Amino acid sequence: MTDTQADTKKLKNDLWKRMAGSPFLMVGPADGSTHSEPLTAQLDEDQVDTLFFFIGRNNRIANASELMLQFVSKGHAFFACLHGNARVDNDRAQIDKLWNKQVEAWFPGGKDDPNLALLRVDIDSAELWETDMSIAGMVKMLFGGTIRSDEEGHHATITTTAG
């Protein structure tokens, strides 16, 4: 495995780990026809190239076929811009698997709420950034010093988010 492949694999693994800790993304149509909105991703360990979102059927992205999704981790050390194909997929088994108390708070009718839609986004590409600066690099950044390349972090463009 080359260094680039190893770095990319690490970035992809970091993305899923960080999203599990803070699953909030800005999501909007890839064509930019309307603003993005904050949504909470539901992660399924069995489908690592797919994000799920419980949304209202009347949500402005419910009928979008392509979405752009932006993620910033807690502590602002990891950033991702994801592109994916979207569709409403109200598979009852998937709804049952992903259902939780937070979702229930938004849909008082429960899993049978007539406004409930499970949006499935199959990720087809991603651009990831990890700021992995040393303490010295962070001090330089704060006070205007020169940051060496080994203090910058990692960047990768990938065509899948599967590990």
Q: Does the pTM exceed 0.85? A: no
Cα gap 68→40, rounded to integer Å: 14
Please list, in sequence order, all residues whose beta carbon lies within 8 angstroms of the beta carbon of residue 103, skipping any fewer than 6 positions away: 42, 54
Residue 63 — φ and ψ, nearest 5°? -105, 5
**Alpha carbon separation from 4 to 10, 123, 155 (Å, rounded):** 10, 21, 10
DSSP letters for 9-50 = HHHHHHHHHHHHH--EEEEEETT-SS--EEEE-EE-TT-TTE
Each residue's pLDDT expressed in tens, for the chain with a length of 163 residues = 455 555 667 767 778 888 999 999 999 999 999 999 999 999 998 887 899 999 999 999 999 999 999 999 888 778 899 999 999 999 999 999 999 999 999 999 999 999 999 999 999 988 888 775 555 555 444 555 554 555 455 555 656 655 5
Buried b (16+ CB within 10 A) or exposed e, 12-44: bebbeebbeeebebebbbeeeeeebeebbbbee
The first and second tokens of residue 27, run together, are 């999501």
